[in-house]
Amino acid sequence: MLCGLRTRRTVAAFVGDRRGVIVVMFALMLPILIGFIGLGVEVGLWYKERRDLQAAADAAALAGAYELAEDRASNIETVARREAENNGWTDCAGGCITIRSSPFNGTFPAAPSAYSADAETVQVALTRQVSLLFAGYFLGSGNSVTINTKAVGKAVAGATTACVLALGSGNPSGALTVSGASNSVTMSGCTMATNSTNDNAVKNLTGTMSADCVYSAGGIQGTPGPTTTACASPGKSNQPAVTDPYATITEPTVSDCGSNSYSLTGAGNSDTISAGTYCSISVNANNGTFTLNAGTYFIDQGDFTVTSNNSTVNATAGVTIVFGDSSGGGNCGRLNIAGSGAVNITAPTTGTLAGIAFYRGPSCDAGSGMTLTGSSGSTIIGALYAPTSSLSMSGGTSVAGSCLQLIADTISFTGTGTIGSDCDGTGVKDILAGGKGSLVE
């Protein structure tokens, strides 16, 4: 009996001994712990792979957008593939790249995308297969995960600064025209642009025009065409539309002028007036001098006219001439500089109308908004702005300005001019023309 009792006690002690249980449990749990740690590391690697692949897609879409902006849609796939590979992407059997661009292959960015109907975009979708490491123990060896990324690039304006912008509403032929045997227009450090999509949006029929480049949302007609110093002649067609930098300005309200018209007549006469509202302002005083003090001059349903010979209009202290219609009918007057008179005007550098010398707002009617004819020689620092009407320089007119902008619905040159873009400190807003790529998604 004693022996049996001892045996039972020994067995009971052995069964009740808990020492070493932790080691056993740890040994059992260790493969699972290692698996989760390995899986966490591997998931981190997947995120890195996706980040790298996204960088490749971004580079490819941006490069494609630049090709689109430069009117080289046929090169989009070649350039996109090159940039994707330069950023670490490798093609796979059957193709791991999808390019969607309406000018290239008639397709648009796939949904979800805010640009699913935008013809000025390039979407690049990349795919990469990543072999499983630790995850293969759970998902089966030989399996892989698929990583997908996509990016959208858009062709936008903004590569260069323009001095001349023909907005071209209605997409007319000849929205920007240069003609006349004696015509000579030289632009220093700036370009010309039009938003008309007509095949003949730019017409260079005769005469000489030199600019850094000519950008047209449509086509360019003429042989040999404009002389371009910073891009291939005759310029670049099918470019992105250029934003009107003054379109966001709140159009000034012109009050009733009553009977307050001003006219300077008589040979050799001189006079000075101050800012205010006028029914019209005219200068017809040969050899006369007319001075406008600083400020804004509102002209209600009338014209600003200089028709005398050898007269001089000085408005260099910061002046804006605003054409309007107090009745709200859009019956605005026009700018008419003719004869051999000279208008020297400098726009204000501050305020709502900073940088604008002559303003004929968007509520005004179409027609001959601004005309410079005869043999006048003027110096203008600022913008001539007439978004709904035409602007023309003709005859022997010579207009110069180290910072001169011309913005109108249509613009024609049959005179001469030297136009510059040295606009620092003048209040003039940049006109950003020319195509470039922008990453938008």
E strand map for 167-303? 176-178, 184-188, 191-194, 202-204, 208-211, 214-216, 220-221, 227-228, 262-265, 270-273, 276-278, 281-284, 289-292, 295-300
Question: 177 and 138 in one domain?
Answer: no
Last residue of a domain, one of 99, 116, 142: 142
What's the pLDDT score for residue 24? 65
| More reliable by pLDDT, 262 or 379 | 262
In this model, does residue 331 exceed pLDDT 70? yes
pLDDT at 7: 61
pLDDT score of 122: 95
* pLDDT at residue 329 is higher than 90: yes
Select, from the ranges 125-134, 329-338, 397-406, 432-441, the one with the highest average predicted confidence (pLDDT): 329-338
pLDDT given at position 337: 86
Residue 372 lies in a domain: yes
How far apart are alpha carbons 77 and 105 in whole angstroms?
A: 10
Better pLDDT: 204 or 264: 264
| 132 and 189 belong to one structural domain | no
Domain contains 21: no
**pLDDT class for 209, splitting at 50, 70, 90?**
confident
Q: Could you tell me if 121 and 440 are in contact, meaning their C-beta atoms sit under 8 angstroms apart?
A: yes
82 with 173, same domain: the answer is: no
State pLDDT tens for residues 128-175.
877 766 655 555 555 777 888 999 999 888 778 888 999 999 999 999
Domain count, the chain: 2
Q: What are phi and psi for residue 219, nearest 5 degrees? A: -110, 175
Residue 61: closest CA among 79, 86, 85: 79
pLDDT at residue 382 in the model:
93
Distance, in Å, from the CA atom of 333 to the CA atom of 299, rounded to the nearest integer, reads 7
Mean pLDDT lowest among 18-32, 283-297, 328-342? 18-32
Q: Judge if 90 and 183 occupy the same domain.
A: no
Cα distance between residue 437 and residue 435, in whole Å? 7
Q: Are residues 193 and 57 in the same domain?
A: no
115 and 191, same structural domain? no
- Residue 120 structural domain: 27-142
Any residues with CB less than 8 A from the CB of 368 and at least 6 apart, and which? Answer: 334, 389, 390, 392
Does a structural domain hold residue 56? yes
Q: Tell me what the mean pLDDT of segment 98-115 comes to.
A: 92
Question: What's the rounded mean pLDDT across residues 208-218?
Answer: 85
Give the DSSP H/E element, type plus range, for residue 77: helix 76-86
Residue type, 133: L
Q: Which of 152-156, 296-300, 399-403 has the highest mean pLDDT?
A: 296-300
Residue 18, pLDDT above cutoff 60: no
One domain, residues 260 and 384: yes
Question: Looking up tokens 């005398």, which residue turns up?
Answer: 308
Q: Is residue 45 part of a domain?
A: yes
Could you tell me if residue 153 is inside a domain? no
- Residues 44, 83, single domain; the answer is yes
Per the domain annotation, does 127 fall within a domain?
Answer: yes
Same domain, 49 and 172: no
Domain end (from 107, 142, 177): 142
Q: Is-contact 221 200, C-beta < 8 A? A: yes
pLDDT above 60 for 354 = yes
- Asked which of 85, 112, 142 is the last residue of a domain, the reply is 142
Instruction: Assess if residue 5 is contained within a domain.
Output: no
In angstroms, the CA 416 to CA 279 distance is: 31
DSSP string, 94-140: T-SEEEE-HHHHS--PPSS-TTTT-TTEEEEEEEEEEE-STTHHHH-
As a whole number of angstroms, the distance between CA 426 and CA 350 comes to: 8
pTM: 0.77
Model confidence over 179-201: pLDDT tens digits?
765 667 777 778 899 999 999 99
| Higher pLDDT, residue 404 or 226 | 404
Residue 282 has phi, psi (to 5 degrees) of -135, 145
Does 144 or 307 have the greater pLDDT score? 307
- For residue 12, tell me if it sits in a domain: no
Average confidence (pLDDT) over 229-235: 82
Q: 123-127, 219-223, 236-240: which range is least confident on average?
A: 219-223
Same domain, 62 and 136: yes
Average pLDDT, the chain: 84
Confidence band of 424 (pLDDT split at 50, 70, 90) = confident
Task: Give the per-residue pLDDT at 393.
Answer: 81
Residue 135 sits in the same domain as residue 168:
no
The H or E element spanning position 24 is helix 21-69
